[in-house]
Amino acid sequence: MSERHARGPLRNLVEYAAARVGETVFLALPERAAARLGRLFGRIAFAVDRRHRRVAIANVECALGLARAQAFDIARRSFEHLGEVASEMVRSPRLLRGPGFRRRVQLRGAEVVERALASGRGLVIATAHLGNWEIAGHGFALLGHPFHVVSRALDNPLIGRRVYEIRQASGYTLLDKRGSSGEIASLLRHGHVVAVISDQRSSKNGVLVPFLGRPALTTLAPAMLSLRTRSPLATASIRRLPGGGHVIEIEPPIEWTPTRDLRSDLERLTALVNERIGARIRECPEQYLWAHDRWRPPRSSAAAPAR
């Protein structure tokens, strides 16, 4: 039985209560103090969550080819960064209303979106859990074009509803990846921008292609949407700057030559997406979500998972 189905209402309620307490504390503190507290929560989580700590360290070791001590340090900093992301997420509605948002969030590559939409088609953007991906949604919304993010519902529906409320306040639309492929294709055909977070393990409708040098089950969604609607497929990422700001970079659409073999084309395009995303992760690995069991092989594989 999966963790999602094993959840009971009591566990969901306890988690939700803890999340709301944390949200209240973050909102009551000045911004810098909230960020420091978020990083402290991340360090505590790294110390007590042994399972995810093991996964994160092993992933960094294998994917980046680092020694154990270096992998430990990057994994710990990744947990701290995740805590800071959480503190910023709950404060994001205030950040959006503040006059300094455009100064703190740089957007590079806006012309990529303009050129793609000027061609009469939509644009598919593949991105990852790098930097503060929540802030990225707000930044994309500043472009002024209809913008949508495909996401999976959280395991805890109570927390999921609260996260949905916060995200909706940013000016973009959330689409549930389950059962919405027809709606997404229609949006693209009408000249909208659709972003897909494509770096998590996809056991259903996924393909085994390299990600940071190791075979990983990867969703075909961005490639499938691009081929189905003839919309260009670009990649984008966000990273935190030393001074506390963020920079969003939209890269040009992937150029490649399709064949008459649909499956081969899907795999090739998905591999090219992973190649680009992997390059951005290598630039600031401490800002990546390493705790996800990304490289766990399919059940039919005899290979051992990265643990």
22-78 pLDDT per residue, tens: 889 999 999 899 999 999 999 999 999 999 999 999 999 999 999 999 999 999 999
Q: Between the CA of residue 27 and those of 23, 30, 38, 89, what are the distances in Å?
A: 6, 8, 12, 10
For residues 235 and 3, what is the distance between their CA atoms, to the nearest angstrom? Answer: 31
Closest CA to 139 of 183, 192, 195: 195
For residues 72 and 59, what is the distance between their CA atoms, to the nearest angstrom? Answer: 10
- pLDDT of residue 258 exceeding 70, the answer is yes
DSSP state of 285: G
- pLDDT of residue 130 exceeding 80, the answer is yes
Do residues 193 and 117 make contact, with C-beta atoms less than 8 angstroms apart? yes
CA dihedral 55, 60, 65, 67 (to 10 degrees): -80
pTM for the full model? 0.89
Give the number of C-alpha atoms closer than 13 A to the C-alpha of residue 175, restricted to the C-beta side.
22
- pLDDT of residue 306 exceeding 50, the answer is no
For residues 265 and 259, what is the distance between their CA atoms, to the nearest angstrom? Answer: 6
Average pLDDT (188-211) is 90
Q: Which helix (H) or strand (E) holds 39?
A: helix 31-48
Lowest mean pLDDT among 68-77, 163-172, 245-254: 163-172
Lowest mean pLDDT among 94-98, 113-117, 133-137: 94-98
The token duo for 215 is 């075979």
DSSP labels for 193-246? EEEEE--S--SSSEEEEEETTEEEEEE-HHHHHHHHHT--EEEEEEEE-TTS-E
- pLDDT of residue 4 exceeding 70, the answer is no
The token duo for 100 is 């300094």
| Residue ranges of E strands in 54-160 | 105-108, 123-127, 147-151
- pLDDT of residue 217 exceeding 50, the answer is yes
- Which residues are CB-neighbours of 297 under 8 A, at least 6 positions away? 208, 215, 217, 303, 304, 305
pLDDT of residue 208: 94
The token duo for 175 is 């689409």
The token duo for 289 is 């979500």
- The model's pLDDT over 6-25, given as tens digits with 9 standing for 90+, comes to 578 888 899 889 889 988 99
- Which residues are CB-neighbours of 239 under 8 A, at least 6 positions away? 130, 131, 246, 247, 249, 280, 283, 284, 287
